[in-house]
Amino acid sequence: MLIATWNINGVKARLDALLSWLDERSPDVACLQEIKSVDETFPRQEIEARGWHVETHGQKGFNGVALISRAPPLPGSVERGLPGDETDDHARFIEAVYPFGTRTARIASLYLPNGNPLGTEKFAYKLRWMERLERHARDRLAAEEALVLAGDYNVIPDPKDARNPAAWTQDALFQPESRGAFRRLVNLGLIDALRAADERGGLYSFWDYQAGAWQKNNGIRIDHLLLSPEAACRLRSVGIDSHVRGWEKPSDHVPVVVDLAA
């Protein structure tokens, strides 16, 4: 079972790239972030015409998450919005339960707040959101089910996850509070899929559009798939489709894909 996460950075602007990648990679479930589209104007028809099922939690102009899958989720299993704050109107979380061999897997697509600039409500919101995610993950782990929390976490977990760590010391993505919250999440018993498969540095999922970051490989790793033990025991491989960054009109992120045995 191939499960992917990709911050598409505007699904309408990247639709050709998305369709090409779906044809090329053929994931079972693709978790998209930053679709920047309300549900009604998401290009569902073009995607469904190729045999995919689409679930969205959209928002006009920014944010927005989606799940694209070969098989539809189990009836009644789609949940939109991260629990814990009824006043939060940002479209940043969607999850559903999918067939997984003879069992099922709960898969979430999440878009964690960026948090910049430091010292503002945006950073406080990021940390509160991470606390909510931790509570939600703890509740889900108690069910002892195959769980995949996939998305753009906007967190650089470790210095080796950046080509130039010093350049990020004043950024919300690399603050001790952000990294500590990510570690607490993992310490619940979740497994960082890529790090379970490969401990090397130099593995990135994001390259800024500015200053030739892609050409210089000046990247960071902020797109993660965290697995419950029930999912991690089936982990076969992890890949970063970095070549997609070189396509025409690319997102600044690339897909990260895990392969779980059925």
Sign of dihedral through CA atoms 220, 153, 111, 178? negative
Sign of dihedral through CA atoms 123, 63, 60, 128? negative
Characterize the bridge pairing of strands 65-69 and 79-80. unpaired
3-state secondary structure (DSSP) of residue 76: coil
Question: Residue 9 — left, alpha, or beta (φ > 0 → left; ψ -120 to 50 → alpha)?
Answer: left
Q: Beta partners for 3? A: 29, 258
259 is known as an active-site residue:
no
Cα–Cα distance for residue pair 36/9, rounded to 1 Å: 7
Cα–Cα distance for residue pair 254/205, rounded to 1 Å: 5
111 is known as an active-site residue:
yes
Give the ranges where 74-215 is alpha helix by DSSP (H).
Answer: 121-141, 176-186, 193-197
How many CB atoms neighbour CB 64 within 10 A?
28
16, 85, 88, 111: the active-site residue: 111
| Closest-CA residue to 190 (of 222, 227, 157) | 227
Cα–Cα distance for residue pair 31/111, rounded to 1 Å: 10
Residue pair 98/146 in contact by the 8 Å Cβ criterion: no
Cα–Cα distance for residue pair 207/201, rounded to 1 Å: 15
28, 98, 152, 192: the active-site residue: 152
- Catalytically active residues are 111, 152
